[in-house]
Amino acid sequence: MNTQQLNAIASALVAPGKGILAADESSGTIKKRFDSINIESTEANRQAYRQMLFTTQGVGEFVSGVILFDETIRQMADDGRPFVDVLKSQGAISGIKVDAGAKPLANSPDEKITEGLDGLRDRLNEYISLGAKFTKWRAVITIGDGIPSDYCIRANAEALARYAALSQEAGLVPIVEPEVLMDGNHTIERCYDVTERTLHVVFDALHYHHVSLEGMLLKPNMVISGNACSTQAAPEEVAEQTVRCFMRTVPAAVPGIVFLSGGQSNEQATANLNAMNAMAEKHPWQLSFSYGRALQDPPLKTWLGQAGNVEKAQKAFHHRAKCNSAARDGSYSDAMERELVGVG
């Protein structure tokens, strides 16, 4: 696949008014989600939950693509259609998480390195046969006493660049995710400094690995206060700091930035994205979303593993997707949160 074709897929994923659903939770993460509603994390329950999300009527108006997990891309709906085909019927592109998770970094155990490069070329070819059009790899950068180290940032940037190059070689659009965690009591200014350092090194590595910027997407954290910080930045400050940081680090050739929610509340993630897109200042990339929990929490808590709750849960998911779609052009408002009546 050439650069033009990769760019077409990347651009479709950040089409105006649309964003990405991250439904790529690992087995451990989905178990924690299911534990919160007291249902067992069996394959059948996971299939039923993902089917509830993917078959939500009209959600394709707001969702351009869905990141799947290895199990999920192989599953089918009750009517026998592969989930990839279900999503295609909604107008959504299927992608796949390809990293093997973050592990302790050798000689720096308080930091993480993401594994999964071994055998990746062969796995990518298999995922193509299953219908994937894009991929995702997450790196984890922790803010703490004396960290992140240059060693950690560079090691993760190198892995991200190698993954992205292999994805593009296979004809898949890579979503590059260097996540600076919001865990901690650090200020928004500290988050800015670490995010700027990280993005400079990541794009330097992408350059050396000949990754086509036009054929990739960036999935970063917002520049935000640590969740234990005594001063929490308002959406307008988050927007100003985030856009300023990215104008200094992210090349204009990148078609879009699809933010992760990173532990923010549903409303906070939407409000912060809205504030960025409401700014008078123009930016060269599409600013979109690739949310997991911030899209899924309301439908999950409404569903509760009960078939009788599917319709209400789908309404909750549709509403959350609609709110984030509005944030794509700065038209989201608090009043939109009150539109959904009788669901909760």
Choosing from 111, 177, 179, 240, which is the catalytic residue?
177
Q: What three-state secondary structure class fits 268?
A: helix
**Stronger pLDDT, 242 or 341, i.e. the higher one:** 242
Q: How many domains does the chain have?
A: 1
Closest listed residue to residue 155, CA positions, set 113, 120, 119, 210: 113
Instruction: Tell me whether residue 344 is in a domain.
Output: no
Instruction: Judge whether 115 counts as a catalytic residue.
Output: no
Give per-residue pLDDT as tens, 103-159: 999 999 999 999 999 999 999 999 999 999 999 999 999 999 999 999 999 999 999
pLDDT at 234 over 90: yes
Instruction: Tell me whether residue 342 is in a domain.
Output: no
Contact present, 66 and 21 (Cβ < 8 Å): yes
Instruction: Tell me whether residue 55 is in a domain.
Output: yes
Q: What three-state secondary structure class fits 332?
A: coil
pLDDT at 344 over 50: no
Give per-residue pLDDT as tens, 37-49: 999 999 999 999 9
Token pair of 210, please? 């000949």
How far, rounded to the nearest angstrom, does the alpha carbon of residue 272 sit from its chain's CA centroid? 15
Contact present, 96 and 73 (Cβ < 8 Å): yes
Instruction: Tell me whether residue 243 is in a domain.
Output: yes
Instruction: Tell me whether residue 187 is in a domain.
Output: yes
The predicted model gives 297-319 an average pLDDT of 97
In percent, the amount of the chain with pLDDT more than 70 equals: 98
Q: What three-state secondary structure class fits 66?
A: strand
Q: How far apart are CA 342 and CA 327, in angstroms?
A: 23
The predicted model gives 302-322 an average pLDDT of 97
Domain range for 300 is: 3-337
Q: How far apart are CA 344 and CA 299, in angstroms?
A: 8
Instruction: Judge whether 88 counts as a catalytic residue.
Output: no
Q: Report the pLDDT value the prediction gives residue 1, as an integer from 0 to 100.
A: 64
Written as one string, the DSSP assignment of 243-263 is HHHHHTTS-TTS-EEEE--TT
pLDDT at 343 over 80: no
pLDDT band at 2 (very low <50, low <70, confident <90, very high): confident
Token pair of 190, please? 């500290």
pLDDT band at 281 (very low <50, low <70, confident <90, very high): confident
Instruction: Tell me the average pLDDT of the chain.
Output: 96
Q: What dihedral do alpha carbons 242, 248, 253, 256 form, nearest 10°?
A: -10
What's the CATH number where 267 sits?
A: 3.20.20.70
Q: How far apart are CA 138 and CA 113, in angstroms?
A: 10
Give per-residue pLDDT as tens, 60-95: 999 999 999 999 999 999 999 999 999 999 999 999
Choosing from 97, 112, 219, 322, which is the catalytic residue?
219
